[in-house]
Chain A
Amino acid sequence: MIEHISRIFGLAVKEFQQLSRDKLLLAFLILGPLLELLLMGSLSGGGIKNLPLAVIDQDRTSSSRHLIAKLDRTDELRVEAYGSTVDEARQWMQEGDIAAIAVVPRGYGQALTNPTDGAEVQIIADGSNQIVSTVALGTAEDVAAQIRQDLSAFRSSASQGPIDLRFVARFNAAMEDQPHSITAMLGMIVFEVALVVAAQSIAREREMGTLEQLRVTPLARLDLMIGKTLPTLVIGMADFLLMMGVAVLWFDIPVRGSLLLLTFLTVPFVLAQIGWGTLISLISRTQQQAMLFVFALAMVEVAFSGFLVPAGDMPGVMQAISYISSVQHYLVIIRGVTLRGAGLGLLWMPGTALAGIALVLMALAWLRLRLGLDSDSLRRRLLTAWRQTQSRWRESVCRKRRGNRRPKQPEWHREPA
């Protein structure tokens, strides 16, 4: 046991030495994630701002102008053009110049002050982008609510209508986009760093031919795997902690739950990526192939992570597949702990899923390592295994047939006798 530990330790030390030799790589691995998070975090996630809006003002009164000015003054919308007909504005929308159209009908000003009638403003949003249309419609509703409030303040007869929906946003009262996108980026960066380091570590040895040298050392397969896993785990966790520091101190992401729990649950997430990485580096012969596999996997994971489409909006089959995506589970966990303040009681499901994924991937990688490293020996092994099962099956079938015939054969023998 102690021998194993010292061997694993020796391999881990060698890995760290190799990493520290390439100063540029080490800088990319430690500082790269921080810079990336800082840059991307400050550039994106400001939410959608200044969507171009076309206005068709058929009323041309002071109250309609007041409404248009109010729409223009919001962060989200900006009056880009004034049109005279809806068809003209729709043409602009088709060309992609504007995102929404506001139609103020004739008689708007009068209807606004008429207690029995009420005015109606139409908002046509570009449905080709779900997020854009949601923001445009939501902003218009906000403006309408403001006007309703203003009117009721100085004219008590103005009613709110029979139903008044009062919105409260939990966890993020100001409904800022940033916490959502920062957590997504943090998860994705930890994911990609762990995946790349793990995927290249064995592929590199293989391409350089040093894996053969490692195989003749007394290092057992499991030792090799653990020794290769440890440095990646350390780098992944270090990156996670550093980026959490940036997220909390720089971007003011609240940590409402326990940071210890989050750190604890990050371990299976990093391990899952190491499992993927080891698997990739075992099936690819060069680092270039490994890298291409890494990118293909990363894109698929992003697709299923719920970043492009919320998991609930995917078609049924894809939704089922998305449960294999470790990023999706991890994003639930990291948002759960930081923003929603969830404890282990509410997060055991994604937590177990992550641990399961990590375990299965590690087991697969170990199995692949056991089956022999070059694909020729794998092919030979699979072929022999297939032939063995084939011959076994044939034998059993033959025996069954023989077994069926046997009671008949004595009869045949007996009859002539």
Chain B
Amino acid sequence: MSIKRLASILTKEYRHIFREPRTLWMVFLSPAFVLITLSMVFTSGAGQIELALWDQDHTTLSRQFISTLTSDADFSVTRVSDYEQIGSSLTSRHVDAGIVIPPGFASTVQAGGTAPIQVILDGVDTSVAGRASSSLLGHAADFGAQLSKQYLVPPPPIRIKQQSAYLPPAADRDSMVSGLIPIVFSLPVIAAALALARERERGTLETLVATPVRSLEYLGGKLIAYVTASLVGLVPVWLTASVLFGVPFRGSPILLVVLTADFLMASVGLAIVIGNLVKSQQAATVLSLFVFFVPAFFLSGLSDPIDTTDLVSTLVSYIMPTTHFVTICRALFLKGATLIELWRPSLMLLGLSTVWTLLGALSFRKRIA
């Protein structure tokens, strides 16, 4: 291991990055750019639920019920007049749910009975259906409590009083923006995988074989170049999150930088393994898409929390550096956690960065096939 040779590889890699303005932009600024676009999609509140409503009763009471639904902008109601229309507007995604108020609704309630109302949910998007049903239940319970007083109907034996504990008002967006930071960093990381595959594809690795550069120096140069370059990209990402989207930062800045470097080490190590495995840049791109892209959205705990009781899915998500860094970013930005509180994900990241860089070094052969 010679520092001089490592430094010369490092200079070469930096020159590759700096030579082309487009590559430079892509490595330094694209994470911030992607974070902006991804985060713009989130609003602080949930949108309206579209309802198709068929009122077969046409009484004051049924109209009162409808007006409680529309009173607080949770629902927007479209009137329909048969099941066909409800079915076709559900199929074409114009509404999220359909409601049918049967004839005799008012007379049943006034007689002290229980009046049924049918709700037809779109079972495909379960999160929208769940939101629609819980919101409808809440509105119906409020209206029901009002009616039981008015018409002396006995109230239901058990009611659920719903409350959402919004920590600050824009908590949903804050937690999403901070959770997306690890994902946008996959861009410069994959550039490292391609940098490695490029040398093999273009045959410049052969030239390197003829030089006294050792494989460890070569890999170390690549690793350091891409980790440091991506680390500089943290500044625009941080500014985007804190200034543009106003996400509070409650933790220690030094800890974030250190853990980001650790995360980048682990990811670039994984990228090096990919780059060693394939022969062409095209194959490297395809493989990185499968390894970094789809799992990052579906398995990292970004939107659905990881089900820790299922062993296989826990294992797969835990070997991805992104999973741990999502936890760390959220905790550092929103909760102001310290290293002691974050010992578990930090230790996992440290282990992963060791394992992946080691595997990268082991899988590399400075040899011509």
What is A's interface to B at a CB cutoff of 8 Å?
A: 22, 24-25, 28-29, 32, 36, 39-40, 43-51, 67, 90, 93-96, 99, 101, 111-113, 115-135, 137-138, 140-141, 144, 147-148, 151, 157-177, 179-181, 185, 188-189, 192-193, 196-197, 200, 204, 207-208, 284-289, 291-296, 298-300, 302-304, 307-310, 312-315, 318, 332, 335-336, 339-342, 346-347
When the two chains form their complex, are residues B148 and A161 in contact, meaning their CB atoms are under 8 A apart? yes
Point out the residue from A22, A188, A300 that lies within 8 Å of B282, measured CB to CB: A22
By a CB distance below 8 angstroms, the chain A residues around B155 are 116-118, 159, 161
Residues of B within 8 A of A309 (CB): 41-42
One of A28, A285, A298 near B286 (C-beta < 8 A): A28
**Does B305 contact A172, Cβ atoms closer than 8 Å?**
no
On chain B, the residues within 8 Å of A50 by CB distance are 307-309
- Interface majority SS (helix, strand, loop, mixed), chain B: helix
- Whether the pair A291, B194 counts as a contact (CB closer than 8 A) is yes
**At the interface, yes or no: B215 with Cβ under 8 Å from chain A?**
no
Q: How far, in Å, is A355 (CB) from chain B's closest CB?
A: 18
Name the one of B118, B281, B297 contacting A204, with C-beta atoms under 8 angstroms: B281
Contacts of B41 in A (CB 8 A): 303-304, 308-309, 314-315, 318
Which of B38, B124, B143 touches A340 (beta carbons < 8 Å)?
A: B124
A299 adjacent to B165 (CB under 8 Å): no
Task: State in angstroms the CA–CA spacing of A295 and B187 once bound together.
Answer: 7
- A288 touching B47, Cβ below 8 Å: no
Residue pairs across A and B with Cβ atoms less than 8 A apart, 8 shown, are: A129-B172, A159-B157, A163-B147, A179-B124, A204-B281, A286-B20, A287-B194, A312-B48
For chain B, the count of residues having a C-beta within 8 Å of the partner chain is 121
Q: B residues within 8 A CB of A303?
A: 37-38, 40-41
CA distance A193 to B294 in the complex (A): 12
- Residue B171 CB within 8 A of the other chain: yes
Q: Given A138-B130, A298-B293 in contact, is the A288-B34 Cβ separation under 8 Å?
A: no
* Residue B158 is within 8 A (CB to CB) of chain A in the complex: yes
Q: How far is the CB of B56 from chain A (nearest CB, A)?
A: 15
Closest to A184 in B: B298
A43-B312 in contact (CB<8A):
yes
- B350 at the A interface (CB under 8 A): no
Q: Min CB distance, A242 to chain B, in Å?
A: 15
Contact status A121-B159, CB under 8 Å: yes
> Closest residue of chain B to A340, judged by CB?
B91
Binds A, one of B108-116, B233-241, B261-269: B108-116
- CB-CB nearest in chain B for A35: B290
Q: Which of B140, B160, B290 has the most CB of A within 10 A?
A: B160
User: How far in angstroms is the closest Cβ of chain B from A326?
Assistant: 16
Give, as a whole number of angstroms, the nearest-CB distance from A373 to chain B: 15
Specify which chain A residues have a CB less than 8 angstroms from the CB of B124 in the assembled complex: 171-172, 179-180, 335, 339-340
Q: Per-position contact with A for B293-316: 1 when CB-CB < 8 Å, else 0?
A: 111011100011101111011001
| Closest B residue by C-beta to A133 | B164
Closest residue of B by beta carbon distance from A25:
B283
Residue of B nearest to A47 (CB): B126
Whole-angstrom distance from the CB of B127 to the nearest CB of chain A?
5
* In the complex, chain A residues whose CB is within 8 Å of the CB of B119: 165-168
Q: Are A44 and B304 in contact (CB under 8 A)?
A: yes
**Residues of chain B in range 332-363 having any CB-CB distance to chain A below 8 Å:** 334-335
Is the beta-carbon distance between B191 and A288 smaller than 8 angstroms? Answer: yes
**Contact in complex: B335, A95 (CB < 8 Å):** yes
**What is the CB-to-nearest-CB distance from B160 to chain A, in angstroms, rounded to a whole number?**
5
Contacts of B122 in A (CB 8 A): 169-171
Task: Give the shortest distance, in Å, between B141 (CB) and chain A (any CB).
Answer: 8
Decide yes or no whether B242 CB sits under 8 A from chain A. Answer: no
B117 part of interface (Cβ distance < 8 Å):
yes
A197 touches B282 (CB 8 A): yes
B260 CB within 8 Å of chain A? no
Q: Is residue B216 contacting chain A, with contact meaning CB distance below 8 A?
A: no
B167 contacts A292, C-beta separation under 8 Å: no
A131 (CB) vs chain B CBs: closest residue = B127
Query: Do residues A299 and B40 form an inter-chain contact, with CB atoms below 8 A?
Result: no
